[in-house]
């Protein structure tokens, strides 16, 4: 029996405006309480306003990326220490869009996760395969390789992360892995984490991401090893995001 408390995280990606964000956050906060943990990850410029808007609520906030470096001449980068100063509970690292568009390697993702943990920010480590890799039967090899780099780099701290399985072919495409497909990969990842962290893996949260919507969330979240979701497009509409949070509760 899965007794882990569910977690639903909204990844706003490069969307938002001051007015729109205020309305969105007000809609989410006004729908509390939820029967799960909830967080939102806005673009960097909106972190301060998000923190103010959510102060006094049980909704957490996070960022969509961080640097592997603590400080220095890294124009455009944001350190985990800066995120921590803004009260960030989470930071997404290794999202497929970062891997694809910015050439992030498995090791760089692992280094970012390590930097986040060093500052007390929980990394949400994303793993996932492309459609070509799935059709070639390489799903297990790809996600295990991506996670192995993080496990190796974090060593005994590997049990402190959140893992998000996001099949690349299902992100923003309207296609969703079936609950059975998603569960199979989640079970594989938990087994890999168990081999590295022992019983700690049974307490870790594994999220699913990839076209999660109000009408498919409940069935996905009912799977034994799926502990919530990393939500993209549906997190930009308060009614949809609230419905997904309700499905997790």
Secondary structure of residue 36 in the 3-state scheme: coil
Domain count, the chain: 1
In this predicted structure, the answer to whether residue 33 has a pLDDT above a threshold of 90 is yes
In this predicted structure, the answer to whether residue 155 has a pLDDT above a threshold of 60 is yes
Residue 114 lies in a domain: yes
What's the average model confidence in pLDDT over 51-80? 98
Residue 241 lies in a domain: yes
Residue 2 lies in a domain: no
In this predicted structure, the answer to whether residue 17 has a pLDDT above a threshold of 60 is yes
Per-residue CA distances from 170 to 18, 94, 175, 212, 219 (Å): 29, 16, 5, 9, 16
Secondary structure of residue 191 in the 3-state scheme: helix
For residue 132, give both structure tokens.
């070509």
Q: Which of 70, 95, 152, 156 is catalytic?
A: 95
In a 13 Å sphere around the CA of 207, the CA atoms on its Cβ side amount to 35
Residue 43 lies in a domain: yes
Instruction: Specify the residue for token string 């603590």.
Output: 70
Residue 1 lies in a domain: no
Q: What is the pLDDT of residue 170?
A: 85
Q: What is the pLDDT of residue 173?
A: 79
The reply to whether 186 belongs to the active site is no
Higher pLDDT, 11 or 210: 11
Question: DSSP assignment, residue 174?
Answer: S
What's the average model confidence in pLDDT over 91-118? 97
Residue 128 lies in a domain: yes
What's the average model confidence in pLDDT over 92-98? 97
Q: Which of 97, 104, 166, 186 is catalytic?
A: 166
Q: What is the pLDDT of residue 1?
A: 57
Note whether 94 and 126 are within 8 A (CB).
yes
Domain limits at 87?
7-248
For residue 236, give both structure tokens.
């930009």
In this predicted structure, the answer to whether residue 175 has a pLDDT above a threshold of 70 is yes
We report the CATH number of the domain holding residue 117 as 3.20.20.70
Between 18-29 and 238-248, two packed helices, what is the crossing angle to 10 degrees? Answer: 30
Residue 55 lies in a domain: yes
Residue 219 lies in a domain: yes
Instruction: Specify the residue for token string 């490069």.
Output: 14
The reply to whether 102 belongs to the active site is no
Q: Report the share of the chain in percent with pLDDT over 90.
A: 93
pLDDT digits (tens, 9 = 90+) for 181-213: 999 999 999 999 999 999 999 999 999 998 899
């Amino acid at each position: 029996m899965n007794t882990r408390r569910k977690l639903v995280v909204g990844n706003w990606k490069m969307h938002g405006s001051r007015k729109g964000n205020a309305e969105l956050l007000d809609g989410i906060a006004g729908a509390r309480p939820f029967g799960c943990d909830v967080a939102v990850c806005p673009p960097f410029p909106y972190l301060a306003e998000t923190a103010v808007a959510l102060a006094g609520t049980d909704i957490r906030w996070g960022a969509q990326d961080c640097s592997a470096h603590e400080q220095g001449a890294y124009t455009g980068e944001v350190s985990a220490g800066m995120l921590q100063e803004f009260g960030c509970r989470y930071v997404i690292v290794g999202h497929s869009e970062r891997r694809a568009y910015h050439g992030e390697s498995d090791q760089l993702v692992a280094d970012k996760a390590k930097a986040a943990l060093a500052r007390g920010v929980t990394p949400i480590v994303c793993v996932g395969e492309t459609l070509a890799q799935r059709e070639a039967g390489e799903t297990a090899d790809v996600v295990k390789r991506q996670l192995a780099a993080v496990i190796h780099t974090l060593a005994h701290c590997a049990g402190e992360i959140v893992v998000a399985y996001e099949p690349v072919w299902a992100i923003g495409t309207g296609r969703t892995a079936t609950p059975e497909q998603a569960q199979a990969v989640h079970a594989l990842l938990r087994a890999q984490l168990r081999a590295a962290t022992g019983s700690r893996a049974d307490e870790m949260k594994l999220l699913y991401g990839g076209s999660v919507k109000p009408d498919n969330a409940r069935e996905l979240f009912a799977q034994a090893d799926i502990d919530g979701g990393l939500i993209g497009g549906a997190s930009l509409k308060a009614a949809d995001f609230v419905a997904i949070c309700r499905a997790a509760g």
